[in-house]
Structure formats: structure tokens, C-alpha cells
A = this chain, B = another copy of it.
Amino acid sequence: MAQNRRRPTRQRTAVQALLEQTDDFSSAQELHARLRASGDAVGLATVYRTLQAMAADGDVDVLRTDDGEAAYRQCSTGHHHHLVCRTCGATVEVEGPAVEKWSERVATEHGFTDVHHTLEIFGTCADCARAARSS
């Protein structure tokens, strides 16, 4: 994977701390704005670089929203997928051993190697469904 030769700078620490307080997937822009608002400002480019480095190191998960923006989240370690509310962003980590096996089998059957997959489930969470109904 990647060298964990990252230096512990104020900026990196600030980004990590913010991610720890955050439960939803957030874009680099959002995180940057929140850092600035909290007085712990970090340059936008640095936010991007830090998040990408963390993703490369496997310290955060990334997914692409419907409109193609990258969103990051501090997740538990180990391979898993996400159930994401497309309204409020609430996120649940889910695991599916069967899916993992299926995906690997399918790839092998077709002669593919060096395989990885993306799997995200989007929907409306109970809270948002309720809110929508009573409006």
C-alpha cells in the first residue's frame, strides 16, 4: 500500500479530528468550510491532499455522490459497504460476505485479476421518510 511516512502537522491533525466528530460522508469542500468556521483553518488544497492521502492509506473511505463529487468518512477498519440516506446523509456500515465471494467468483470466471469493487446502497432513512410524509 502506501508509505505511512506522513508527518503529524497541525493541518493533518485538524482534518483527522474533524472526521472523528463527523458521522456522515462529507466532501472536501464541506470539511474545509467547517474547519475554517471552527477557527482551525486549513488551506483547501491541503484538505484535498490530506483526504487523498488518508484514503490511499485506508484511513478513510471515499465514495462518489450521484453528481460525481468525492465524499469522505472515517469508518471502522476492514472491508465493508454503506447504506446512505440520500436526503440527510445518515450512513450505516454494512457487511456482505456473500457479496464479496460472488464478486470474486464472477471476476475469476471471466479471467479478471487485480479486482476490486464498489457497492453503495442509497435510500431514504426512516426519519427523512417521516419528515417528508408530514409536510
Residues on A close to B: CB < 8 A?
A: 64, 68-70, 83, 85, 92, 94, 96, 98-99, 102-103, 106-107, 110-126, 129
Contacts and interface: CB of A to CB of B under 8 A. Distances in A.
Nearest to A114: B124
Copies of this chain present: 2
Interface of A is mostly: strand
Given A70-B68, A99-B102, A102-B96, A116 B122 contact: yes
A131 to B, nearest CB: 13
Contacts of A116: 121-123
Nearest to A127: B111
B126 A103 contact: no
Contacts of A103: 96, 121
Given A64-B68, A68-B64, A113 B98 contact: no
A57 to B, nearest CB: 17
A122 B117 contact: yes
A123 B113 contact: yes
Contacts of A70: 68
Contacts of A68: 64, 68-70
A124 B112 contact: yes
Contact of A110 (B64, B83, B117, B118): B83
List the 7 closest pairs (A to B, CB-CB), nearest first: A111-B126, A115-B123, A112-B123, A68-B68, A117-B121, A119-B119, A64-B64
